Amino acid sequence: DVKVTQSSRYLVKRTGEKVFLECVQDMDHENMFWYRQDPGLGLRLIYFSYDVKMKEKGDIPEGYSVSREKKERFSLILESASTNQTSMYLCASSLAGYGAFFGQGTRLTVV
Amino acid sequence: GEDVEQSLFLSVREGDSSVINCTYTDSSSTYLYWYKQEPGAGLQLLTYIFSNMDMKQDQRLTVLLNKKDKHLSLRIADTQTGDSAIYFCAESERGSTLGRLYFGRGTQLTVWP
């Protein structure tokens, strides 16, 4: 079974802090994704990566950056956390055409 | 980007069938997917259908695809309270090898005992 693991289930951070969300997959997938999920808005793509050190902006990249130094790990960085970044963050990985497999999610609260 | 539409809510009684509907815009999508999300959890891939198929059955799940109308449905037979969750329809990006998916907003299925 594909396993996508996010480093934290719940996180509380202060406004202005730099926040790192980590994601690791164990199936050698080329593609990795970060989404955020908010009530009524569904899933919105923040960034994705199709290879090591490669990244592409999704639909809402502002206020975020990413890092992919190794194939299995994709990190989402909030440079200076703000309260409007309070959300559920979902990481996923995929082989093209075979659907995406998701981690359990990180619920981030920024106070 | 592609547009995927779903109704937001569906309520059914335990033992009845549930039908969740979805429309999509990209007629060249290769695969279409259904995901399930239980409270506080990530998304679980339930099933998928290749675009040259009309129907796919997997135990209690039946997926119907009408390419002409760009309509996808998920039927759950003998719905149980454990089926209560949010169900997302997704389509793959046109001609993409990147595996990017476009999701609907999700349908909240509530099953009453």
Residue in chain A nearest B38 by alpha carbon: A104
Residue B29 has pLDDT above 90, yes or no: no
Cα gap A56→A13, rounded to integer Å: 26
pLDDT in tens, B36-71: 999 988 999 999 998 888 999 999 999 999 988 999
For residue B19, the distance in angstroms to the closest alpha carbon of chain A comes to: 20
Q: Do A100 and B99 touch (CB under 8 A)?
A: yes
Strand segments, DSSP code E, in chain A are 4-6, 10-13, 19-25, 31-38, 42-49, 56-57, 64-70, 73-78, 87-94, 100-102, 106-110
Residues of chain A contacting residue B45, judged by C-beta atoms under 8 Å apart: 99-101
Across the interface, of A45, A56, A104, the residue whose CB is closest to B42 is: A104
Say yes or no: B52 contacts chain A, CB-CB below 8 A: no
Q: For residue A69, what pLDDT is reported?
A: 95
Residue A95: band (very low, low, confident or very high) from pLDDT cuts 50, 70, 90:
confident
* Model confidence pLDDT, tens digit, residues A27-63: 999 899 999 999 888 899 999 998 898 999 999 999 9
Residue B91 is predicted with a pLDDT of 87
At B98 the pLDDT is 60
